[in-house]
Amino acid sequence: MKIFTAPQVKALDRRTIKEQNLQTLELMERAAKAFTAWFLKKYDFRQRVQVLCGIGDNGGDGLAIARLLYERDYSVTVYVLKFSDNLTKDFKRNLESLRYRSIEIIYVEPGDKLPNLDVKSLTIDAILGSGLSRPVEGWLGEIIQQVNETVKTIIAVDIASGLFADEHTEKNSILPKQTFCFELPKLAFFFTENYARVGDWYVDTIHSSKSGIQETTTPYHYITPEMIKETYRPRSKFDHKGTYGQAMLIVGSKGMMGAGLLAAKAALRSGVGLATVHVPQCGYTITQTAIPELMVSLDSHPNSFSEVPNLERYNAIGVGCGLGESEETAKALKELLESTDLPMVIDASALNIIAHNNWHHLIPKDSIITPHHGEFRRLFGETSNDFERNNLQRAKAKELGILIILKGAHSSIACPDGNCYFNSTGNPGMATGGSGDVLTGIITAFLTQGYRPLGAALLGIYLHGLAGDLAAEKYGYESMIAGDINDYLGKAFGKIN
């Protein structure tokens, strides 16, 4: 699913109206019906509703929603915030349609507060839309602050008032419990800094121009189940273990063997034909005992990775999980980076070594690196907000010719061609030690099976999150551990087959 900028959304609306021979009011009615259908499933008619409307098209959506909810027996009050005398044509038409209905309409003039705002009423925010051109300040900022401080449950129409769709937001915005948006999600929805300004978000179609969506280019994409099913290659009856390749995982050090074993088990659970771990001597007995399906390549060092194994028979490499950052490990990692052209996933300790030594230029082209926010900062420097961080992520992926997966809620994949993909699976229960190691193993497995780097990354983060979602259904967020993700990979595969 594509993610459009606010100007692109406006252009799409214009194209939809032209192609489908619609009046602008008819498209607004579609949007209102889509919101109302979703709202009816969430909230019953015994709850009072107050709708906050600006005087533009977002306010027009709000007025149409008020009418539709009234027709379904909700008790509705409308507030019209007259921050300008320039009421849009469709706003006026929707306002006229409320005239003969028993809907209380309260006009609020500049300088006034919202009178009789009901703390317990469901409050629908339709004050400002996605075409915001400047931060919300002054009287309207005070109104937004009053709403946030007074009302318990706020639902935003398309986007919270005051939130920029495509850039960092510093000033006031509505803080909704939920946001319902039309056709395509907004870029702002995918960043941690905006969670309080978005809440839980939902999207549904208003039957915009399909050709308009297809022909509009954007670097931003949201990973959907359909995209994953198109990427995934089901197994054939006569396939054998040789079909699915051999993975080499260079992992573990004294006291941190668990991270490597989590990655190795994830690779096995993700369909690799054969998996070998290269471990220090202290890890031999642990590995052979914990996961008998693994093959072991033994380093000569008792406690650390110190020498690059023979890689001739392998199809892909995963390196870094639990590796440690000793001097001998750094030296061996440098040799590995300089000596192989195999597809590679680089994580954890390996990323910290690269950052400390400024070895970014040694990362082989088309490699996949998987930093969390702290590792990303060490690799590429400080950023002041999530938008700036995403721009840096995309720039570095292009500069280095690699894929950068920035882990977190809505983990993102930045590609060398400038594209960026945001994940749709995963939950807070995955915020536990070892989850990233599992991801490294999953992606390594897909590279080993012959997937191109982008396909491996897409499948990796989606299935990783999906397995986490399935595990959370059993254990809850607080009780999940990284091994639970591995245990639910089979069910996750079943969801995409």
The mean predicted confidence, pLDDT, of the chain is 96
Pairing of strands 344-346, 368-369: parallel
Q: What distance in Å separates the CA atoms of residue 265 and residue 279, rounded to the nearest whole number?
A: 14
pLDDT tens profile 136-152:
999 999 999 999 999 99
* pLDDT of 67 over the 90 cut: yes
Q: Indicate the CATH number for domain 6-218.
A: 3.40.50.10260
Check: CB of residue 45 under 8 Å from CB of residue 121: no
Tell me the CATH number of domain 226-496, given options 3.40.1190.20, 3.30.70.1710, 3.30.565.60, 3.40.50.2300. Answer: 3.40.1190.20
Specify the pLDDT at position 99: 84
Q: Which residues, 6+ apart, have CB-to-CB distance to 435 below 8 Å?
A: 464, 468, 482, 485
β-sheet bridge partners, residue 80? 53, 107
> Which residue spans within 88-245 are E strands per DSSP?
104-108, 122-126, 154-157, 178-182, 200-204, 220-222
Per DSSP, 2 falls in state B
Judged on CB neighbours under 10 Å (0-12, 13-18, 19+), 365 is: exposed
* pLDDT of 369 over the 90 cut: yes
Specify the pLDDT at position 85: 82
* pLDDT of 133 over the 90 cut: no
Distances (CA, A) of 55 to 128, 156, 431: 8, 16, 43
Specify the pLDDT at position 353: 98
* pLDDT of 86 over the 90 cut: no
Q: What distance in Å separates the CA atoms of residue 401 and residue 360, rounded to the nearest whole number?
A: 11
For residue 170, how many other CB atoms are within 10 A of its CB? Answer: 10
Closest CA to 422 of 394, 450, 384: 394
For residue 207, give both structure tokens.
Answer: 């039957």
Q: What distance in Å separates the CA atoms of residue 385 and residue 164, rounded to the nearest whole number?
A: 13
Question: Amino acid identity, residue 392?
Answer: L
For residue 447, give both structure tokens.
Answer: 């590279």
Specify the pLDDT at position 162: 97
pLDDT tens profile 331-347:
999 999 999 999 999 99
Q: What distance in Å separates the CA atoms of residue 367 and residue 280, rounded to the nearest whole number?
A: 24
Pairing of strands 274-279, 178-182: unpaired
Please state the domain extents for the chain: 6-218, 226-496
pLDDT tens profile 175-226:
999 999 999 999 999 999 999 999 999 999 999 999 999 999 999 999 999 9
**What is the pLDDT averaged over residues 40-58?**
92
Check: CB of residue 480 under 8 Å from CB of residue 429: yes
β-sheet bridge partners, residue 335? none
Check: CB of residue 273 under 8 Å from CB of residue 245: yes
* pLDDT of 87 over the 90 cut: no
Check: CB of residue 95 under 8 Å from CB of residue 23: no
Cα Rg of the chain (Å, integer) = 26
* pLDDT of 131 over the 90 cut: no
Per DSSP, 401 falls in state T
Question: Amino acid identity, residue 449?
Answer: Q
